[in-house]
Amino acid sequence: MKTITVKDGTTIYFKDWGSGQPVVFSHGWPLNADAWDAQMLFLGERGYRVIAHDRRSHGRSDQTWDGNEMDTYADDLAALFDALDLKNAVLVGHSTGGGEVARYLGRHGTSRVAKAVLIGAVPPVMLKSEKNPGGLPVDAFDAIRNGVVNDRSQYYMDLTLPFYGYNRPGAAVSEGVRKNFWYQGMQGGIKGQYDCIKAFSETDFTEDLKKIDIPTLVMHGDDDQIVPYLDAGVLTAKLVKNSQLKIYPGYPHGMAQIHTDQINADLLTFIQS
């Protein structure tokens, strides 16, 4: 297993395949780097170096009591960039990983990154407030916390239904996809995953997004039941100066896993543009 050790002693697991221009992936909650398998295989076969890490307290990385918040996530990602001496990279983030990408770019700059992609990402901020009236109420995130605390295993299995749009009439449900989601979620640590709910729901990425000065593709499904697109992708694209917004009719939050042909093709087009 390939790992790095970051400044607080935490061991971060990562995959690093192929050669060429690096494409670096940040996964969503409560998953791990395996969520990007379809994209990594596709781009790796087309001459790109593909890299994905397990966020601390997720997957095969150390389960930590502290540091399960966006600043530390971004610093862990920066440590990976430094350890591998990555340059001219394309940085791709889904959901919580999109927040991690935004915070990395806002906190560490774009000197090592040529382009960014945000897929169903949580920025600018998910929590409803006077400043963000289109957000979700805190009760929605309290329900997630209760699910994780009371029966994490069953909660993750149930979460696959809205995550992949499998609760929609006529949906072609894959039990394999559902079980893989559950398996990835259960590899992580409950403390870090619990803390991460606050991180992805309450962190305000507005100033991070304003600092992004590289071409950025914002991809969001209009049937995303986890991160509603009007308060996320649409607002993000308005804040990022050099951005392109692509809305996918009928696509759910987990579209990168179940609509891989379309998402992969659009990623490749953007990277090559």
Judge if pTM exceeds 0.95. Answer: yes
φ, ψ for residue 244, nearest 5 deg = -125, 125
pLDDT in tens, 26-56: 999 999 999 999 999 999 999 999 999 999 9
Catalytic residue among 224, 231, 243, 259: 224
* Residue 153 annotated as catalytic: no
Catalytic residue among 95, 195, 220, 243: 95
* Residue 253 annotated as catalytic: yes
Helix (H, G, I), strand (E, B) or coil at 28: coil
| Cα(35)–Cα(27) distance, integer angstroms | 7
> Is the Cβ–Cβ distance between 214 and 245 less than 8 Å?
no
CATH no. for residue 125?
3.40.50.1820
Q: Which domain holds residue 68?
A: 2-272
pLDDT in tens, 223-232: 999 999 999 9
Domain count, the chain: 1
pLDDT in tens, 160-172: 999 999 999 999 9
